[in-house]
């Protein structure tokens, strides 16, 4: 695998994807920290994992299902209780349209 | 210049489960905004999704009907993006391990059998519904949007083709035929108006023999017709650019149904960086062969196979067979009707004619029709025996259709039995001839039309109950001796 260096450009891009606003100092700080973290994680590459399947879960459980049955939903006042703005039992947000 | 067109289609189908994919909220359409939501589908912190088994079964069954191979191992993944219709800021979808892969759909296109290869079928959760302020009457709302999360978390099956479709018409026919499958399996009602079937397309052009060109993605088409139009307009746009030696930019374009053309989507928020990763809150699926075999055994006869069988077994014209097998309910109705009246072509004519006409007129589904197939069969028996005329049979059928009453009852109640009694018909004929001397003399002068007029008069007098063949015969007899 190619060594990945984190530069400020990438930190800005990731911050944008996560809708975070970073100051110049923070960009600097996070670039450095992320680089350190990646370098640390890179140590794992020293282990030979050729015979190990990629693992996404540590449990051995699988096929956990529920039946197709209805349960009560929340009362709509409860649903909207945390909404900063609402109208006609809908969440109101800034205009998003193409 | 002529280019080779490559179209791929991505179809989203909402499944008809009672509850959502990961929680027990109802999936009913048309409920008041946000009344069918809970902490799980609203993405509140600390909740855990649990997979609805039925949704997995519906997806697998559809995939099997589409000749796909079900995966032994399947997993859900998080697709991350920010949009107000997505409360968790990620959609639980599938990425590298869809439920099924590698299938195909066969259908007829301009008299030839076409096979469109399907890349994958996967399961994901639907997003919420956004209503834009511009759509409401209130002017102060024009800078607002409103979110209803009732749709959030409804199971959504995605069916993706390889880019192997080569014309807008082929895309259209693929969709028409694809849509029948979930409906036959009763896993979706595939209702585009209610958004339970949606389709995006990607399309690229390349000079013949060369490798595939840069593709554009098309969105915002709200009917199969719009998809065909959108693709046609996109072919024009791209070939125009290529003709001038320009490049195609990879982008998402939206269909404007008023202007009948596509335009580029402005926002870059859809940068395709979804940072997929395995959904940690859901455990993987291991799909056993036994389960697949069970689902396979439960599949009904599929539209294409049934259509072929109708042609073979009932000697129906392909057109008839196509119409009758368009929905499972209609095909079932037809075959049930044959049990009481085993004359396929006649039954087919009635179903394709009167039956479908009234169905459309009353705007109901086959399941809502009040006339049982057996009753239609009985009506056709009366017609065959000559108890009623063809014209009357239509009147009676309409009455049956509207009231649900039996053919026999209507005939008896309204005295609609056909008059086949020669004596009483002769009496009517005498009356008619007496009242229309002009027509009689016209006939004598060799005007054949006059006979038709006279038959019509007799039918009128008997309120359509006379047997037309008999009237004809008796009239001719009478006229020849006048």
Residue A41 tokens read as 């994680």
Least confident of B222-226, B277-281, B395-399: B395-399
- Give the three-state DSSP class for B114: strand
CB contacts of A14 in chain B (<8 Å) are none
- Map out the domains of chain A as residue ranges: 8-45
Whether B365 and B333 have beta carbons less than 8 Å apart is answered as: no
Q: Do B33 and A90 touch (CB under 8 A)?
A: yes
Name the residue with tokens 């059998």: B113
**Cβ B125 vs Cβ B152: under 8 Å:** yes
Residue of B23, B143, B254 lying closest to A95 (CB–CB): B143
- Chain A contacts of B257, Cβ < 8 Å? none
The reply to whether A33 touches chain B by the CB within 8 Å rule is no
**B139 to chain A nearest CA, in Å?**
13
CA torsion, ordered B268, B269, B273, B277, to nearest 10 deg: -170
Question: Hey, which residues 65-94 in chain B have their CB within 8 Å of chain A?
Answer: 75, 80, 82-84
B219 contact A CB<8A: no
Q: Running DSSP on this structure, what letter comes out for residue B136?
A: S
Residue B1 pLDDT: 77
> What are the pLDDT digits (tens) for B78-90?
999 888 999 999 9
Collapsed DSSP state (helix, strand, coil) of residue B333: helix
Q: What is the pLDDT of residues B230-282, one digit of tens each?
A: 999 999 999 999 999 898 988 899 999 999 999 998 765 555 688 899 999 99
Residues of chain B contacting A94 with CB distance shorter than 8 Å = 143-145
Chain B positions in Cβ-Cβ contact with residue A64 (cut-off 8 Å)? 50-51, 282-283
**Chain B residues inside the 8 Å CB shell of A93:** 84, 144-147
pLDDT at A37 over 50: yes
- Are B234 and B218 contacting, i.e. CB atoms less than 8 angstroms apart? yes
* Range A8-45 has CATH code 1.10.3470: no
Query: What percent of chain B clears pLDDT 70, i.e. is strictly above it?
Result: 97
Place of tokens 């119409």: B323
φ/ψ (deg, to 5) at B231: -65, -40
| Contact at CB, B82 and A19, closer than 8 angstroms | yes
The tokens of B253 are what? 């374009």
- pLDDT score of A29: 92
* Residue carrying the six token digits 């049955």: A69
**Of chain A residues 66-95, which have a CB less than 8 A from chain B?**
66-74, 76, 79-80, 87-95
Q: What is the mean pLDDT of residues B426-448?
A: 82
Q: How far is CA B74 from CA B99, B124, B310, in A?
A: 6, 12, 38
Distance from C-alpha of B245 to C-alpha of B240, rounded to nearest angstrom: 9
Q: How far is CA A22 from the centre of its chain?
A: 17
Q: How far is A26 from chain B (nearest CA, A)?
A: 22
Indicate the residue of B17, B133, B147 with minimum beta-carbon distance to A91.
B147
Which residues 114-173 of B have a C-beta within 8 angstroms of A?
130-134, 141-149
How many Å lie between the alpha carbon of B206 and the closest alpha carbon of chain A? 29
CB atoms within 10 A of CB A83: 15
**For helices A24-41 and A8-17, what crossing angle results, to 10°?**
100
The pLDDT of residue A1 is 40
The 10 Å Cβ neighbour count of residue B261 is 16
pLDDT > 90? residue B292 = yes
For each of the domains in chain B, give its residue range(s) and CATH number, in order of start: 3-293 (no CATH), 301-413 (no CATH), 422-481 (1.10.10.410)
Q: Is A55 on the interface with B (CB under 8 A)?
A: no
Q: How far apart are CA B424 and CA B407, in angstroms?
A: 25
Between CA B193 and CA B342 the distance in angstroms is: 38
CA distance to partner chain A, nearest, from residue B6 (Å): 27
d(CA B387, CA B384): 8
Q: In which band, very low, low, confident or very high, does the pLDDT at B465 lie, cut at 50, 70 and 90?
A: confident
CB pair distance less than 8 Å for A91 and B266:
no
CB contact residues (below 8 A), chain B span 252-281, against chain A: 254, 265-267, 273, 275, 278, 280
Pick A54 or B274 by higher pLDDT.
Answer: B274
Indicate the length of chain A as a whole number. Answer: 98
Write the CA distances from A71 to B39, B291, B308, integer angstroms: 12, 27, 44
Instruction: Give me chain B's average pLDDT, please.
Output: 90
The 3-state DSSP class for residue B168 equals: helix
- DSSP H stretches of helix in A1-98: 8-17, 24-41, 76-79
- For testing the chain A interface, which of B22, B144, B251 should be mutated: the one with the most A CBs within 10 Å? B144
Q: Name the residue among B26, B53, B148 with its Cβ closest to that of A67.
A: B53
* Residues near B207 by beta carbon (within 8 Å), at least 6 away in sequence: B1, B3, B4, B242
What's the gap in Å between the CA of A24 and the closest CA on chain B? 23
Cβ–Cβ below 8 Å for A89 and B33: yes
> What percentage of chain A reaches a pLDDT higher than 90?
44
pTM (2 decimals)? 0.84
3-state secondary structure (DSSP) of residue B91: strand
Q: Which residues contact B95 (CB under 8 A, 6 or more apart)?
A: B77, B79, B276
Q: B159 near B118, Cβ under 8 Å?
A: yes
Q: Would you give the distance in Å from CA A62 to the centre of its chain?
A: 24
CA distances from B163 to A40, A57, A93, B251, B271 (A): 42, 34, 37, 16, 22
Long-range own/partner contacts, residues B225-229 (CB < 8 A, 24 or more apart):
B225/B172, B226/B255, B226/B257, B227/B168, B227/B171, B227/B172, B227/B175, B227/B199, B227/B201, B228/B168, B228/B169, B228/B171, B228/B172, B229/B168, B229/B255, B229/B257, B229/B260
How confident is residue B177, by pLDDT bands cut at 50, 70 and 90? Answer: very high
pLDDT of residue A2: 46
Tell me, yes or no, if A63 comes closer than 8 A to chain B by beta carbon: yes
Residue B350, helix vs strand vs coil: helix
- Does the beta carbon of B363 lie under 8 angstroms from any beta carbon of chain A? no
User: Phi/psi zone of residue A69: left (φ > 0), alpha (ψ -120 to 50 degrees), beta?
Assistant: beta
């Amino acid at each position: 695998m190619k060594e990945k260096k984190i530069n400020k450009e990438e930190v800005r891009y990731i911050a944008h994807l996560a809708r975070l606003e970073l100051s110049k100092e923070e960009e600097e700080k996070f670039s450095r920290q992320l680089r350190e973290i990646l370098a640390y994680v890179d140590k794992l590459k020293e282990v030979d994992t050729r015979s190990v399947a990629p693992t996404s879960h540590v449990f051995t459980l699988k096929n956990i299902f529920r039946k197709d049955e209805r349960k009560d939903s929340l009362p709509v006042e409860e649903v909207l209780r945390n909404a900063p703005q609402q109208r006609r039992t809908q969440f109101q947000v800034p205009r998003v349209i193409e | 210049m002529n280019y080779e067109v490559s179209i791929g289609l991505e179809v989203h189908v909402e499944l008809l489960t009672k509850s959502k994919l990961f929680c027990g909220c109802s999936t009913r359409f048309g409920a008041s905004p946000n009344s069918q939501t809970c902490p799980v589908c609203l993405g509140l912190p600390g909740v855990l999704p649990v997979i609805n088994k039925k949704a997995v079964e519906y997806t697998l069954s559809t995939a099997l009907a589409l000749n796909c191979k079900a995966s032994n191992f399947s997993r859900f993944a998080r697709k991350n993006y920010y949009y107000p219709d997505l409360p968790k800021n990620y959609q639980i979808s599938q990425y590298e391990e869809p439920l099924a892969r590698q299938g195909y759909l066969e259908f007829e296109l301009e008299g030839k059998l076409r096979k469109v290869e399907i890349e994958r079928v996967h399961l994901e959760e639907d997003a919420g519904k956004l209503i834009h302020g511009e759509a409401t009457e209130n002017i102060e709302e024009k800078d607002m949007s409103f979110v209803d999360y009732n749709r959030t978390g409804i199971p959504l099956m995605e069916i993706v083709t390889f880019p192997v479709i080569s014309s807008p018409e082929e895309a259209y026919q693929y969709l028409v035929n694809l849509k029948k499958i979930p409906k036959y399996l009763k896993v979706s009602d595939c209702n585009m108006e209610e958004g339970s079937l949606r389709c995006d397309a990607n399309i690229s052009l390349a000079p013949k023999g060369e490798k595939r060109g840069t593709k554009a993605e098309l969105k915002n088409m709200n009917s199969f017709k719009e998809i065909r139009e959108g693709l046609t307009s996109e072919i024009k746009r791209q070939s125009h650019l290529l003709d001038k030696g320009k490049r195609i930019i990879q982008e998402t374009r939206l269909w404007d149904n008023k202007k009948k053309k596509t335009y580029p989507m402005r926002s870059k928020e859809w940068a395709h960086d979804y940072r997929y990763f395995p959904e940690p809150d859901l455990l993987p699926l291991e799909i056993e062969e036994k389960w697949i075999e069970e689902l396979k055994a439960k599949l009904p006869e599929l539209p294409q196979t049934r259509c072929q069988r109708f042609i073979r077994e009932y000697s129906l014209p392909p057109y008839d067979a196509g119409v009758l097998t368009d929905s499972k309910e209609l095909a079932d109705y037809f075959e049930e009707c044959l049990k009481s009246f085993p004359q396929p072509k006649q039954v087919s004519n009635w179903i394709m004619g009167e039956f479908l006409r009234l169905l459309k007129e009353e705007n109901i589904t086959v399941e809502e029709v009040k006339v049982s197939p057996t009753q239609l069969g009985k009506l056709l028996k009366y017609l065959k025996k000559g108890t009623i005329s063809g014209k009357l049979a239509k009147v009676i059928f309409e009455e049956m259709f509207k009231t649900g009453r039996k053919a026999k009852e209507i005939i008896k109640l309204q005295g609609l039995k056909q008059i086949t009694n020669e004596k009483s018909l002769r009496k009517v004929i005498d009356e008619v001839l007496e009242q229309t001397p002009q027509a009689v003399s016209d006939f004598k002068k060799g005007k054949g039309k006059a006979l038709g007029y006279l038959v019509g008069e007799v039918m009128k007098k008997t309120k359509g109950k006379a047997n037309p063949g008999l009237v004809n015969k008796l009239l001719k007899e009478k006229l020849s001796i006048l």
